[in-house]
């Protein structure tokens, strides 16, 4: 497959630049929103609840993605896609 041509680094730099820009804008917006709240701070319970919500959401998303990959690699989705279960009469 290697035809002697060096791979271009330009697409990688474009991707990293785009993702970096999106991250910078997101951080800028969060800092702007948090600094605009004035004296309304969040208690320790609020921070703990937010941390638990983030961890739970990431764990749930990761678990569901693992199930999708597991199902695809084991071929469990093949029978449903081909219509082998006799559901044609519906």
67, part of any domain: yes
pLDDT at 44: 87
pLDDT at 43: 86
Around Cβ 71, how many Cβ atoms within 10 Å?
A: 13
5, part of any domain: no
Quote the number of domains for the chain.
1
pLDDT at 28: 93
25, part of any domain: yes
| Alpha carbons 54 and 31: distance in angstroms, whole number | 18
| Alpha carbons 49 and 4: distance in angstroms, whole number | 55
User: Domain residues for 50?
Assistant: 10-82
Alpha helix locations (H) across the chain? 10-35, 44-74, 76-82
pLDDT at 22: 97
| Alpha carbons 54 and 52: distance in angstroms, whole number | 5
pLDDT at 63: 96
Q: Which residue in the block uniquely carries the two structure tokens 């993702």? A: 19
pLDDT mean for each 10 residues of the chain (90 residues): 74 95 94 77 87 96 94 78 56
Tokens of 56: 């739970």
24, part of any domain: yes
34, part of any domain: yes
87, part of any domain: no
Residues 6+ apart with CB under 8 A from 50: 42
| Alpha carbons 35 and 37: distance in angstroms, whole number | 6
39, part of any domain: yes
90, part of any domain: no
């Amino acid at each position: 497959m290697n035809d002697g041509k060096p791979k271009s680094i330009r697409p990688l730099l474009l991707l990293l630049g785009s993702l970096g820009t999106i991250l910078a804008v997101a951080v800028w917006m969060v800092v702007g929103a948090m600094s605009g709240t004035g004296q309304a701070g969040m208690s320790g319970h609020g921070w703990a609840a937010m941390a638990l919500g983030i961890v739970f959401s990431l764990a749930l998303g990761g678990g569901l993605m693992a199930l999708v990959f597991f199902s695809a690699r084991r071929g469990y989705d093949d029978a449903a896609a081909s219509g082998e279960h006799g559901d044609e009469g519906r």
